[in-house]
Structure formats: C-alpha cells, structure tokens
Structure 1
Amino acid sequence: MNQAWVSYLPAFLRKRVEGRHELQKVLTNTGWLFGDRLLRMGIGLFIGIWIARYLGPSGYGLISYAASMCAVFSAIAVMGLDAIVVRELVKEPEREQEILGTVLGIRVVASFAAYFLTVVTTFILRPDDRSSQLLVAVMGWAMIFGSFDVIDLYFQSKVQSKFAVYAKNTGFIIASIVRVALIAAKAPVVAFAAANSLEYCLGAIGLWYLYRRNGEFISRWRVRLELARKLLADSWPLVLSGIVFMVYMRIDQIMLGQMSTNHELGIYASAVKIAEIWFFIPTAIVSSVFPNIVRARQTDEKEFYNRLQKLYNLLAFLGYVIAIPVTFLAGVVVYLFYGEAYAAAAPMLVLLIWSDVFANLAVARNAFLMAMNWTRVLLVMTFLGAISNIALNFFLVPKYGGVGAAAASLISYWVAGHGACYLYKPLRRTANMLSRSLLYPRFW
C-alpha cells in the first residue's frame, strides 16, 4: 500500500516512488527525522540566540566551553555502538532482546566513566575556574541519561524513527519552555546547563514510554557477556574513532578557550552554532538509508555502489545549496541572529559553512565504512583529521583567534572526509566517487 503522502507529490516525482514500498518507507522515515530537526532548528536556534544575547559573548563562551568538554567525552558514553547495533538488529532480529539489553548495560557503565573523566579533565585544564567546573559537572549528566538512546536505535532498525521523534521532541519542548523561563527570571548560567540535562532526562523517559506503548518491555532485555565481548571487539575502533572525531569537532573551541578568552570563544561559538544547524541533513538522510545500504551489500555489489554514489551526489549538492548563499550573506545573518556584539563572527561563519560540505560527505563515507565493517579504517581517517585540526589550531589560533580556528576546521574536515581517502588504496575508489560528487553534485 502506498503511503498517503505519495498522492500529493508532483507527477514526475510520484512516478518514481509509486509501487516502491521500501523507498516510500525510507522517505517517510527521513521526513520524520527532517521534521524533528527542523523543529529543533527553529525553536532551538531562536532560544539559543536569545540565550546568547542574554549571556553575552563571555557568558556564552563559558557555557560553550563546558558543552565542548562534555561533547569530547560523550564518545566514550556512546561506545561507538550506534551503527553496529542497527546493523545487528537488521541482520539478527531474533536476538533483539539480547542485543538491546547488552548495549544498555555497556552504555550505562561507559556513561558514568565518561562523566568522571569529563569532570576530572576540566579540573586539570581549568583548576581555578569554579564556574567551568560546575557547568561541566551539571551538563555532564546528559551523557548518563543518553544511555537510553538504545531504544532510539531499535526504532531506527525498524525504520520507525517517528517514535523517537515524539519522545525526544517532547523533552526538547519542555526544556525549551524552561529555558525561556530562566531568561525571564534572569537566572545564572549554571541554570541553563541544568536545562540541557533535563532535556535528555525527559527524552529518555519518553523513549521508554513509547517503547512500552509499542508492546515492548525493557524487563525482557537480557545482558549477555559473550555478546558484550563481541560488540566491544567490533566497536573499540569506533570508540577511539568517536573520541578522535569529537576532538576534531570540538578541539577548536577547547583550544580557543584555553589560548584566548571566553569572549572570543563566545563569538566563535555563535558562528559554529549557525554552521551546525545544517548537520541534521546528512544525519537524517544516512540514518534512513543505512539499513537498505547494508542489505544491498549482502545481495548486489553493483547496486550497493550505485546507491552510495547517489548518496554522495545528494549530500554534496545539499552542501553547496547551503554554503553558497551563506557565503554572501554571512554578515547579515550574524547581525540578524546575534546582534552587533557578535559581528566579528561573520568571517568565521564563511569558513565554517564550507566545512559543512566535507562534513556531509564524511557522514556518507562513514556509512560505507560501517557497511563494510572497516572500523579501523574509519579510526585512521578520523585520527588524521584530528591531528591536522590540533596542529592547525596550535599555529593559527594565537595569531588569528576565532578566524584561525575556523580555517583549521575547514582544512581538517576536508582531510578526514575526503583527502585522506587517497592515502589508502582500498579507499581510492571511494575517494574518486566523492570527488565525482563534488564536481558533479545532483539532487536525484
């Protein structure tokens, strides 16, 4: 049976999807994910801007530093299991209860370890900064509540992301109302860190509730040590890769915070916020098509690579659609969003928005590596990106501040997502496919 929305499509698009039930299911799932991100982008951006204006560059820089510290160690809490769990649930649905229970057990232990490391590291890097230490200690609880995102992975494997959208958006909306109340009450910066953890707590409760409403029960989950060892054997390169990935995603803000001022970091963080609005696009698309990519690899190699090329083409096209207009309108965008106090963020935004093109392709390329189970290759690619980012920040930040950090991000994103693929012979076909998508991007 066709999805109801198909009848509303233009004729040339309707012909492409009619009768293709798997494609309709993927598009419906992607639509839910897009709706989720658009809601968050709209409400989240508005409230985020309001918070940035309320706190000012220095206060916004302080909370951005804490968020970056938590983000770096969040890779330990996730344990690199997301794509592996979806893959295993697709391949072995009969072991669903064991897989979910084992992964939850792993993540609960890992999230507490990640929280401890985040707090300790902050005390080492900023031993006299009590504000940063308190913010990290409060915000870090989001990692622990995030353990229950394993239920989200269950819904992803069923291509039923709408349930995760319901749950997480409920938590997001309630937390957003709390944030508005905090601004009205002129609350201190730590209160906004607490609101962030509250959002993840409510999201976890919502996921549990909807999982149960679907006739499933967490009480049926079982932890299997043998399965845990197997999953960890597959995921340890992804754990390292995730840590390295978050380093090269967030090290710019941490190094800028250490080598410059909270004020400069606040300016830079405002540009990052605008550039990262669009990150939901590749994530939503890839998470929806990944189960079908895994199936195609098992049945038809030619179709497998054909689907990958289409994915690369699409994400490159969408990257250009965003980067080109923002390049010319960066100053206007920053002024309208954040006001005169953040005007210096415009050149940073121009550099960061072009890094999104390579970030898009990296997300798609990572889906290929996961389908091939080349987790160690992914680790090496990400490591090269992180090393280049750290080195470039070390030389550019002291002289150019936030602009130097943005330039470092652009170059390192290209290295990790595209350039490094040419260094490894089995990936040169993929590198050429990525180059083709950059030179000839297509929407369809």
Structure 2
Amino acid sequence: MKIPSIKGFDQQTLEKYVKNTGWLMLARVGSMAIKILVAIALTHYLSKSDIGILNYPVAFVTFFTAAAALGVDGFVTRELLRYPEKKDQLLGTAFILKVTGGLIILPIIYATYTIVNNYKVIETPLIFVMTVGFTGLIQSFNIIDSHFQSKTQGKYIMRVQIAGNLLSAAIKLALIIIGASLEWFVFALLLDAVLLATGYLFIYQNNGESILKWTFKTDIAKFLLKNSWPLAFSAILVSIYLNIDKLMIEYYKGAGDLGVYANAVQLAEAWYFIPVAITASVFPAIMNARRDDPERYQRRMQNMYDLMVWISMALAIVITISAPLIFRILFTEEFYDGAHVLSINIWAGIFVFLGTASAQFLIAEGYTKLSMLRTAMGALINIVLNIFWIPKYGIAGAAFATLVAYACSTFWILLIPKTRQQGVMMLKSLFLITLYQKLKGSTD
C-alpha cells in the first residue's frame, strides 16, 4: 500500500516505518478497548470500594516491579540494533538479571507492606499485594519484546498482546458471570502477566528461535547494569509519579475514592499507548539518522514532537467536552465524580506524549542520567502537590497534581544547555508554531 506524502515529513521514513507502527497501534487499540470494556463491566459488578481495593495492589507493587525490570528492555533493544549477532547473549543475560530482580523484590514488598500497615491500616489484604507482586518475576519473559522491536516486527507484538487481553477479558467476564469473589479478580491480575509471558514465549519459539540458546555472559551483565541503571531508576520514578497519587488517595480518602479515581485515570491513560507505539517504531529511524545525517535527525525529532502535540491536543479537547456524557453512559452513579477527574487528567497526556518522544532523544544521545533526573523532578513535584491538594481538593487535587508534575518533568530539559534545543522544539510544537510553518509552506 502506498503511503500518501505529508508536507514537512520524510516520505522515506513514513514508507519504511508506518507499517510497523500500524501493527503496534492495532495491538494497543485492541488492548485499550478490551481493558476499558472489562473495567466498565467490573464497575457494574463491584462497588467503588472493591474497585479501589483491586487497584491498590497494582499501585503498591509497581515501584518494585519497575525495579525488578532493571531498565534493561529499552537498552537491550538498542544493543540488538547495533549487534544483532549477540542476540542470544543479550536476551539470555537480560532474562537472568530480570529473574533475579523479580525474586529479590518479593521479601521487600512484604516488609514494606508490613511497615506501612503498622503505621496506618491498609484496607487491601497482604495476600492481595503479594499475589500481584509475583508479576515482577513473570515479566522477565517480556524481554522477548525487545527482540521483535529491534527487527521492527510489530505484528508479532500485536498478536501476543491482543490474544492475551482477549483471554484476560474472557476470564474476568467469566468470573463476573459465576459471581466470583474479589479474591479471584486479584488472582486474575497475576494471570494477566502469565498470559502475556506465555504469548511472547510461544511466538518467539514459533519463529524459529529458542530460549534454550540463550546464554548468560558476566561481561554483558556488567555492561547492561552499568548502562541501564539510570533507566531502571527512572522507571521506578516514573512508577512513583504514575501511581503515588493512588496510594495517597487511599491514605487520605479511602478505597472508595480510589475506586472512582482509578476508573477516571484508566480512561485518561488508555491513550498513552499511542506515543509508545510511535516512538518504538521510529526509534530505529531516529538512530540511523543520528548516525548518517544530523540535519535529518533533528528534522525527524521535530516532526515527531509535532505529531505528538496534534494527536494529544485533539484527544484532550474531545474527551474534556464529552467526559460527563461518557460517565453517565458507561458507569453507575457512584462513579460519576470521575468525570471531572478525567477532564483534568486528559490534558496531562499532552506532556506525556511529548515526554515519551523526547525520551528517545535522551536515549539516542546517551543522556540516561538526565532522563532519570527529569523523572525525579516530576515525581518530587507530584508527591509534594498531592500532600497539599488531596486533603483539600480530593481526587480533583490529585488530577491537578499529575498535570503540573507531567508538565514540569517534560520541560525540565529546558534548564540543561545541551538539551535546551529539544525543549525549544517541543515548545514550538506545543504552541503550534511548526504547524503554522507547515501550513504556510504548503500554500507557498
């Protein structure tokens, strides 16, 4: 299929990578639709307090599972692009590292929960938290994703994710039909990770590969840990300012408010697959341009920022206007307060989209420590604002805190001389300056 040309965009890049992006988009769209439908069904089956309790373990363990991943996934993708002949050593070493991390976090999760629960009683039982904690171990198989991303074979990722989400949805709907208790839905959260890992393993083996060929190399392990630890720490910080608001809402307002807030945030964050899919697909093109043509490299980055703003801003406007109607159609009355949260939180998506795109620049340039510092800034701002705004404004305060934190985190690179140019480029996209230039150029 011929891809139509777009004024201001590199046609060669579009032709080469749009197909892979399409596969990733399809996977994310399918996953998003399935998850939202299941979430809606759950709100009609469980109370808002039960929904809060169901969301709490995921929010609690996400910091630890992020640490267990060690930040190696994205770095392994980059190394596979550079040294494809080392595939088995890179994947095998990363797998063992992630398994080790998944085992180490289990006692840490237990100890942390015990300490927090002694200070203030948590409504969610320990067994729920520990069950979800095992996802850190199972996610080790997700390193296979890096193999397919390095080959721009998004169709395989699409098949695994859609199949896994369909099975997950079928299981949860079956639990609703048979009238299962809340415990079974918590176990289903762990099963989601198992289904995804099984899918990746199956598709990898089915493509003539074998994990039995994977080998662990100490020198590669040291190299990965030395270079990926900033990404690992950054992932932990990301999980903090993505989920700390949920934990603090439960602390200040209880599981009921957490249930309302979590539903609204899920709808807002459902669109975050878009920048991830786009950047994952064009990352090889960005790396190639950086190596061969610096001017094209900068042009591709600007085009990516433009695209991120156009998509996210359009989504924010539409969702803000339709948020009350969405909640009245899809949810029961006890969840209606979430409409206001959605109309606020959806605007944070603009900065998430831009931040995801600029992260590719930081990775390409090797500025992993700057990426970590940027995320730390956002996490710190989010925590501080939540401390003051949740008690005063409730779940709306948490939404505003997220919006401000994302904006500050994304544009923090303006303060650093060697990344300031990228910050200026993002501002041009944000204020639609480059859109005006493209439209003017098309009429000249």
Same-fold call, TM > 0.5?
A: yes
Aligned length: 433
Equivalent residue in structure 2 for 1:59, among 43, 46, 50 = 50
1:369 and 2:370 matched: no
Q: Which moved more, 1:382-391 or 1:288-297?
A: 288-297
Q: CA deviation at 1:417?
A: 1.0
The yes-or-no answer on 1:436 pairing with 2:428 is yes
Q: Deviations over 1:259-289 (max 9, x none)?
A: 2111111111111011011011000000000
Runs of 5+ unmatched residues, structure 2: 439-444
CA contact (8 A) 1:238 1:375 kept: yes
Q: Percent identity?
A: 32
What are structure 1's unaligned runs of at least 5 residues? none
Q: Is the 2:328–2:336 contact (alpha carbons within 8 Å) kept by the matching residues of 1?
A: yes
- Cα pair 1:134 1:190 within 8 Å, conserved: no
Given the alignment of the two structures, is residue 422 of structure 1 paired with residue 414 of structure 2, yes or no?
Answer: yes
For the residue of structure 1 that corresponds to 2:47, the secondary structure is helix
AA partner of residue 230 (structure 1): F
Deviation track 1:56-87 (CA, whole Å, cap 9, x = no partner) reads 21111111111111222221122111221111
Is 1:115 the counterpart of 2:106? The answer is yes
Q: Distance in 1 between matches of 2:296 and 2:109?
A: 43
Measure the CA separation in 2 of the matches of 1:362 and 1:132.
Answer: 35
Structure 1 position 130, deviation (Å): 6.9
Contact kept, 8 Å, 1:126 with 1:132, in 2: the verdict is: no
Describe the shift of the 1:123–1:224 C-alpha distance in structure 2 as closer, same or farther (beyond 3 A). same
1:407 corresponds to 2:400: yes
Indicate how the Cα distance of structure 1 residues 12 and 413 shifts in structure 2: closer, same or farther if over 3 A, else same.
closer
Is the contact between residue 377 and residue 409 of structure 2 (CA under 8 Å) also seen in structure 1?
yes
| Paired amino acid for 1:195 | A
Partners of 1:53 and 1:119 in 2: CA distance: 32
Aligned counterpart, 1:32: 23
Distance in 2 between the 1:167 and 1:41 partners? 14
> Could you tell me which of 42, 62, 73 is aligned with 2:33?
42
Summarize the alignment of residues 2-401 of structure 1 with structure 2, pairs less than 5 Å apart.
5-6=1-2, 20=12, 23-127=14-118, 128-129=121-122, 131-401=124-394
8 A contact 1:25–1:159 mirrored in 2? no
Read off the aligned partner of 1:184 and give its amino acid letter. Answer: I
Do the aligned partners of 1:86 and 1:291 also contact (CA within 8 Å) in 2? no
Corresponding letter in the other structure for 2:102: S
Distance 1:99 1:412 in 2: 35
Contact 1:122 1:132 in 2 (8 A): no
Q: 1:430 to 1:12 in 2, by over 3 A?
A: closer
SS in 2 for 1:166: helix
Q: Please give the alpha-carbon distance, in whole angstroms, between the structure 2 residues aligned to 1:177 and 1:436.
A: 45
387-396 or 210-219: which moved more? 210-219
Amino acid at match of 1:413: Y
- Residue 43 of structure 1: how far off its partner (Å): 1.6
User: What is the CA deviation profile of residues 373-424 of structure 1, one whole-angstrom value per residue up to 9, with x for unaligned ones?
Assistant: 1010001100000000000000001111101100100000001112x12221
For the 8 Å contact 2:55–2:262, the answer to whether it is kept is yes
- With over 3 angstroms needed to count, the CA separation of the structure-2 counterparts of 1:169 and 1:119, relative to structure 1, is farther
Q: Give the distance between the partners of 1:67 and 1:53, measured in 2 at CA.
A: 21
Q: TM-score, normalised by structure 1?
A: 0.93
Could you tell which deviates more after superposition, 98-107 or 164-173? 164-173
For residue 126 of structure 1, give the secondary structure of its aligned residue in structure 2.
Answer: helix
| Post-superposition offset of 1:168 | 2.9
Q: Cα RMSD between the aligned structures?
A: 1.9
For the 8 Å contact 2:56–2:124, the answer to whether it is kept is: no
Letter in 2 for 1:435: L
Work out the CA distance in 2 between the residues paired with 1:116 and 1:278: 34
Give, as a single letter, the amino acid of the residue that structure 2 aligns with 1:143.
G
Which residue type is aligned with residue 253 of structure 2? S
- Contact 2:34–2:165 (CA under 8 A) maintained in structure 1: no
Deviation of 1:119 (Å):
3.2
Contact 2:53 2:123 in 1 (8 A): no
Amino acid at match of 1:433: M
Aligned CA distance change for structure 1 residues 308 and 59 (closer, same or farther; 3 Å): same
Give distance in 1, aligned partners of 2:123 and 2:341.
29
Contact conserved, 2:96 with 2:216, CA < 8 A, in 1?
yes
Q: CA deviation at 1:339?
A: 2.3
Residues 33, 119 of structure 1: alpha-carbon distance in 2 compared, 3 angstrom cutoff: farther
CA distance in 1, matches of 2:43, 2:116: 24
Secondary structure class of the residue paired with 1:54: coil
